């Protein structure tokens, strides 16, 4: 018995199970079709992660843009918001990039 990931939701299930315990997806179908479903889901997932990393980058650069062009006075609300945008954008971007790397690695390992 081996643990595989559900092609529909990514939940870990036994390869002997006939349906996923998480999403009730049917695991008894054509393995080729199931593999296609899984590839499709991964593609969408990585696409949405790429979109998220773009948003994070825009937030990050936007924060810098505000600080650079508007030059809000020290301690002002605008300075606080743009500094927060830089911090959140940076963390969000790093987290998303790591998730993309992990997703690519899991594809390589066949999970």
Q: How many CA atoms lie within 13 A of 72 on its CB side?
A: 14
Q: Which is nearer to Zn ion, 9 or 50 (CB)?
A: 9
What six digits make up the tokens of 17? 């199970």
Contact residues: Zn ion, CB under 5 A: 6, 8-9, 11, 20, 22-23, 25
Least CB distance to Zn ion at residue 105 (A): 21
Q: Which is nearer to Zn ion, 71 or 106 (CB)?
A: 106
Least CB distance to Zn ion at residue 74 (A): 52
Least CB distance to Zn ion at residue 25 (A): 4
Nearest Cα neighbor of 10 from 32, 25, 31 is 25
For every residue of 27-55, DSSP letters joined together read: -SS-HHHHHHHHHHHHHHHHHHHHHHHHH
Q: Which is nearer to Zn ion, 5 or 52 (CB)?
A: 5
Least CB distance to Zn ion at residue 51 (A): 24
* CA end-to-end span of the chain: 15
């Amino acid at each position: 018995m081996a643990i595989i990931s559900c092609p529909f939701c990514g939940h870990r299930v036994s390869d002997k199970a006939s349906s996923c315990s998480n999403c009730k997806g049917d695991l008894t179908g054509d393995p080729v079709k199931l593999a296609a479903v899984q590839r499709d889901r991964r593609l969408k997932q990585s696409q949405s992660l790429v979109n998220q990393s773009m948003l994070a980058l825009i937030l990050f650069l936007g924060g810098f843009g505000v600080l650079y062009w508007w030059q809000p006075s020290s301690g002002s609300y605008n300075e606080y918001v743009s500094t927060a945008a830089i911090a959140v954008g940076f963390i969000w971007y790093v987290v998303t990039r790591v998730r993309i790397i992990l997703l690519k690695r899991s594809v390589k390992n066949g999970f």
